[in-house]
């Protein structure tokens, strides 16, 4: 009855208008696990790393209730590496370098001990590998959530479309939603994407918040206006971690509870961007999270009396 997370664990080197990081720990599954472990444990992780991935990082995750049995360690290869530079608006970025390394021949294997998972979070990854994990599950999870990116729309659209028919909820950003649907209006894009398979769709708009669609229903979660955004890397994954973490904890996949989950995801993402990499996620306490959730409540609460 736990959460299964699949995705990369890697190194990033990041430049933003406000600073530059060395090679630091990153990867979708890393951010998802740090974020989700505030709400639910254990988290059963599937990933792949090389000999250069610090053992202490894996131990730190284990101390947070992350099960590492499904993390393959390739002793003769290097971990995945990505380097990027953000533009002033922090919503767009250029990739400076990508070294697939261990990811080039990754074949995710679902351990027997992971078969009880009811919640499956597929972080951004080659669509065929996301599909492989779904196929290996003996019982279909109660909820399958999937992240993806424009790169796969351009290089593996057929595979991506197959995975879409198998998942309950897709998370993409606004430009990806437009690319996937060939619609500029996000409302029209959402309708088309939900016809491709997922019954629920989250469109992330970075500093402009996120939209949750389901049938004719729509919910909007704002992003917290921040004085400084140091590094948006991993914000989407941190959002995903908070979202799925809350759902796995409450075991309630109603639209109403998804609203709460998307607010929790947004709150977690607002921490992520305050420092480089996973640094801020490692520092925050339950009190910090509660305080931020109160700020979200204040941010959008209003009273209206129709006259």
Which of 20, 208, 251, 282 touches its own copies by CB under 8 A?
208
Q: Rule CB under 8 A: is residue 185 a binding residue for its own copies?
A: yes
Least CB distance from residue 263 to its own copies, whole Å? 5
Q: Rule CB under 8 A: is residue 216 a binding residue for its own copies?
A: no
Q: Rule CB under 8 A: is residue 294 a binding residue for its own copies?
A: yes
Give the separation between CA 69 and CA 111, rounded to whole angstroms: 7
DSSP state of 78: P
CA distances for 185 relative to 76, 136, 181, 182, 296, angstroms: 47, 36, 10, 9, 26
Cβ atoms of 173 and 206 closer than 8 Å: yes
Q: Rule CB under 8 A: is residue 195 a binding residue for its own copies?
A: no
Q: Rule CB under 8 A: is residue 29 a binding residue for its own copies?
A: no
Least CB distance from residue 122 to its own copies, whole Å? 25
Residues 38-64 as b or e (16 or more Cβ within 10 Å = b):
bbbbbbbbbbbbbeebeeeebeebeeb
Which of 97, 112, 139, 184 touches its own copies by CB under 8 A?
184
Q: Rule CB under 8 A: is residue 65 a binding residue for its own copies?
A: no
Least CB distance from residue 44 to its own copies, whole Å? 22
3-class secondary-structure state, position 198: coil
Q: Rule CB under 8 A: is residue 142 a binding residue for its own copies?
A: no
Q: Strand pairing partners for 205?
A: none
Which of 22, 294 has the CB closer to its own copies? 294
3-class secondary-structure state, position 115: coil
CA distances for 169 relative to 15, 108, 175, 272, 295, angstroms: 31, 21, 18, 23, 27
Which of 78, 188, 192, 275 touches its own copies by CB under 8 A?
188
Give the separation between CA 225 and CA 299, rounded to whole angstroms: 9
Give the separation between CA 194 and CA 181, rounded to whole angstroms: 10
Which of 37, 124 has the CB closer to its own copies? 37
**Residue given tokens 């600073």 in the structure block:** 19
Residues numbered 232 to 271 that lie near its own copies (CB under 8 A) are: 256, 259-260, 263-264
Q: Rule CB under 8 A: is residue 84 a binding residue for its own copies?
A: no
Which of 155, 254 has the CB closer to its own copies? 254
Residue span binding its own copies (CB under 8 A) among the ranges 22-30, 112-120, 165-173, 209-217: 209-217
Cβ atoms of 18 and 230 closer than 8 Å: yes
Residue span binding its own copies (CB under 8 A) among the ranges 95-103, 130-138, 165-173, 291-299: 291-299
Q: Rule CB under 8 A: is residue 218 a binding residue for its own copies?
A: yes
Q: Rule CB under 8 A: is residue 219 a binding residue for its own copies?
A: yes
**Residue given tokens 């922090």 in the structure block:** 90
Q: Rule CB under 8 A: is residue 96 a binding residue for its own copies?
A: no
Residues of the shown chain interacting with its own copies in the complex, contacts defined by CB under 8 A: 17, 88, 184-188, 205, 208-209, 211, 217-222, 225-229, 256, 259-260, 263-264, 290, 293-294, 296-304, 306
């Amino acid at each position: 009855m736990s959460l299964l997370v699949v995705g990369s664990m890697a190194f990033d080197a990041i430049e933003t208008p406000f600073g530059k990081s060395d090679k630091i720990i990153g990867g979708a599954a890393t951010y998802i696990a740090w974020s989700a472990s505030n709400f639910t444990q254990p988290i059963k992780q599937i990933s792949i790393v090389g000999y250069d991935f610090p053992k202490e990082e894996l131990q730190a995750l284990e101390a947070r209730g992350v099960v590492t049995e499904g993390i393959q360690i390739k002793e003769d290869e290097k971990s995945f590496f990505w380097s990027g530079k953000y533009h002033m608006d922090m919503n767009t970025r250029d990739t400076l370098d990508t070294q697939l390394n261990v990811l080039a021949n990754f074949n995710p294997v679902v351990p027997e001990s992971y078969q009880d998972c009811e919640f499956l979070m597929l972080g951004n990854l080659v669509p065929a590998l996301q599909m492989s994990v779904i196929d290996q599950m003996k019982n279909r999870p109660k909820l399958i959530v999937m992240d993806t990116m424009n790169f796969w729309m351009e290089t593996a659209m057929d595979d991506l479309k197959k995975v879409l028919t198998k998942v309950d909820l897709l998370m993409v950003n606004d430009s990806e939603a437009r690319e996937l649907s060939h619609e500029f209006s996000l409302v029209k894009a959402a309708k088309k994407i939900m016809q491709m398979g997922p019954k629920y769709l989250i469109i992330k708009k970075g500093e402009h918040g996120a939209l949750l669609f389901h049938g004719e229903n729509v919910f909007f979660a704002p992003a917290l206006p921040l004085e400084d955004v140091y590094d948006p890397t991993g914000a989407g994954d941190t959002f995903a971690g908070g979202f799925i973490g809350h759902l796995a904890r409450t075991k309630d996949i109603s639209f109403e509870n998804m609203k709460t989950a998307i607010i929790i995801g947004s709150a977690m993402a607002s921490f992520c961007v305050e420092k480089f990499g996973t640094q801020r996620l490692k520092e925050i306490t339950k009190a910090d999270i509660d305080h931020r959730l109160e700020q979200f409540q204040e941010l959008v609460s209003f009273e209206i009396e129709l006259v």
